[in-house]
Amino acid sequence: MTADLVLRPAEASDIETIISIESRGPVSKFVRPWRHERHVAALENRNFAYLIAESQGEPVGFVIFQDVLSADRAINLMRVAVGEPGQGSGKPLMRLAMRHAFIDLGAHRLWLDVFAENDRARHVYLGLGFVEEGTMRDAAQKPDGFHSLVIMSMLEDEYRALPVDAP
């Protein structure tokens, strides 16, 4: 299912797909859904890059980068999600996203924040070579209370040093 995974630029017509993925239980637990208008504004903003991951022509996930015009070449992987977490599509999607950030967008630094309790995402990022930089304690408020965010990053030299055929 993931052998033919591709990333393509998202269009306005993809926003409902993104929102429907964001709204699924296993995803909304860790990604706070945005309203349609907020996605439209971000999609039209040249400082964002919206990409849809497709397998056999069907959307399986998405990734959104922020600060793609950063003078520091420090690009934020702002959100990533797959429609069916735990089925093996997230890691290949992330590899394509990393390639897009470092090769196509020219990132020097790719960074993200992840809820501390999001063990699966942290495992995936660590397995791909991201480095944990620290924890922003109680940085995000959700209906059930405050949550800490872990900052993770990868630098371009680290990306280029990754084995080509990493599992």
Ligand X SMILES: CC(C)(COP(=O)(O)OP(=O)(O)OC[C@H]1O[C@@H](n2cnc3c(N)ncnc32)[C@H](O)[C@@H]1OP(=O)(O)O)[C@@H](O)C(=O)NCCC(=O)NCCS
Q: Which chain residues interact with ligand X by CB under 6 A?
A: 26-27, 30-31, 80-82, 85-91, 112, 114, 118-121, 123-124, 127
**Which tokens belong to 71?**
């003078």
Q: State the greatest distance between any 2 C-alpha atoms of the chain, in Å, as a whole number.
A: 42
Q: What distance in Å separates the CA atoms of residue 156 and residue 149, rounded to the nearest whole number?
A: 23
User: Would you say 59 or 90 has its CB closer to ligand X?
Assistant: 90
Give me the least distance between CB of 46 and ligand X, in Å please.
23
Name 24's Cβ contacts closer than 8 Å, sequence gap at least 6: 83
Nearest to 86 by CA among 114, 61, 117: 61
User: Would you say 44 or 127 has its CB closer to ligand X?
Assistant: 127
User: Would you say 9 or 127 has its CB closer to ligand X?
Assistant: 127
Give me the least distance between CB of 25 and ligand X, in Å please.
10
Give me the least distance between CB of 32 and ligand X, in Å please.
10
